A and B are shown apart, each in its own frame.
Chain A
Amino acid sequence: MMATAVHGPGVITELEPFAPGHRACSGCGEALAVRLAAKAIGNNAIIVNATGCMEVVASPFPYTSWRIPWIHTLFENAAAVASGAEAGLKALEKKGKRPERNIKVVALAGDGGTSDIGLQALSGALERGHDFVYICLDNEAYMNTGIQRSSATPYGASTTTSPAGKESLGQVTWKKNLPAIAVAHDIPYVATACPSYHRDLMRKVTKAVETPGPAYIHILSVCPTGWRCATDDAIKVGRLAVRTGIFPLYEVTNGQYKMSLSLTKLEPVENYLKTQGRFRHLTEDTIKEIQERVTREYNKLVELAGKPGGETSSE
């Protein structure tokens, strides 16, 4: 029987495959995302981690935060290593060389490891239909190396390689839409999540694990260090990202979009932007430009889902 403890409004497993004691920065939203995801993944899994924050903070030899089997090799190849592990397990089980235990392979990578350098490997693994889960932990820049921009960095954000200056507003490109790219691979399950909505996140990870074939989950992970917000604000900032429509929560099951929250009215993006130092230089005009884009993109999603929201999810 699964050990449980009363936690908030519901019951959440006490299982902690991702142990405390890791070396993430204080207030790290990504470590929280991994902890929650790991609870949902459970013990019968193999984690394939790309190089990045979560690899560095969780595995400084001779310590490890992982109570389940875990492998890290390189930056851009998590999806490919996961492909090999999944195919290897299946082949060995088929040949009777390993008992059939339905072990799930789960790849973890940051936004750079997913949307930039690892995109090809991810596309290949999704296209080939491996039975695995890929989780992108998106903190919107190369935080591990010191806050350099990635293609997942949002428009207007100041980073160390897209600094705001007299001639630049910071990041001049719009965030690459990775979930849409995953959906375009026609895989059975794609979802977005944020640890500010922890039950929603865990439900989606569970669903991804239970889905045969490839599943992709994109988790917005607030990074107080890189976003320049207060270390006790990760949950609040994540919630604002969702409520402003900047990072909508939705899932796509067999191509069918469904909004995860019923948001009758979006909060102004300014409420979100003003919580973070990376946006402090933005002018009213730029904020207006962002607002227009966010509203337009959010409406597109709602249209895809056919209605404004699915079931109301508790936070």
Chain B
Amino acid sequence: MTRHNEIDCDVLVVGAGPAGLSAASELRALGVVRVLVLEREAQAGGVPRHCHHTGFGLRDLHRLLSGPSYADELVRRALASGVQILTATTVTSLEKNGQAHATNSSGVHDITSRAVLLASGARERPRSARLVAGDRPPGVFTTGQLQQWVYGKGLPVGTRALVIGAEHVSFSAMMTLRHAHVKPVALVTDLEEHQSVAPFAFAARRFFGVPVWTSTRVVAINGQQRVREVVLEDVRTGAHRVEAVDVVVFSGDWIPDYELARRLGVELDAGTLGPASDDGGRTSVASFYAAGNLLHPVETADVAALRAREVARALVKDLANDSTSSSHDQIAVRVEAPLSWAWPNRFDPLSPVSRVALRAKTFSGSRLLVARQDGREIGRERVGRIVPNRSLSVAGAFLAVADPGRGPVTLSLG
């Protein structure tokens, strides 16, 4: 049997998207010597590489860039800071002793490090995971697949499309379709409103003639050799109708790419499905950290990048203290419906939580967010309008009086 190659580094970063690259650069800036980033795609940069529209880099780089330019800039900065990036290299498994195993065209590698930072990102749930019935012909996409199809490979898409979903990324899918000369017929959401910002929905209708069909559900896709039609249901009346299209794009409905983390034995949060972690990205397994959209899908690239820098700082602090602390002895954060998750999922009562990110399943006006521990209210905070598939961010001070001896904190809407 051919030998495996041995690689040793200080911190191994899995994934060269905005979070992984930003964290890696930060690690170098904070004095970590050997920072190795492994990326399974042929090019580093992550999802923004395929998003050929502007809107990237505002919060972290203080510039407005297209997705590919933003990705290039993050790669450039990481390399300039002395980060080593190996692309076309797949991490295949992780072990609790910190060892990682990876494959690329030069062989199979065993990697040792002092800490591992997981930044494997998130993907959109495809049609099958959403249990949409019918035939299984070509012509069914996710946004990520469509963008690579159009911008990456220049492959033909079709002529008429429905976009399933009406969140930020759904409008991105619409723009990609238009770029590929495919007519977007409508954006379809089973919720009563779109979940993006008003200017996007306005522009879609006003300038591109693309409506959002609300309270509408996809029942089935028909067509043998190619998508022929989509069966839609009005969720209020149950009435069915048929729309003739040859392209269906399933957008949004993100899920973290947690496979490596879960196989390692990292505990996942029931709400985010990402590794349960504190705001330093510490997971339930010592020396393993998580950052970016793996933690809670999805935030914009710049937000993922900024939070990943915070994880890098926490990681460096732990390395300096020679601490192997994990999120184990912390206070867990739980949510009650209609909240779907809150992050951080854990916190250390001795160090303040600066911000809490939240999501809910249903629309709502401004509400009170109430924190309880052992049935007793410990704090409250007013939150703004709640939109499903979009995060709210609230100051974390209301968690300050949590008692480590009283079990998990539960958040609910008052």
Partners in one complex: no
- Interface residues of chain A, those whose CB is within 8 Å of chain B, are none
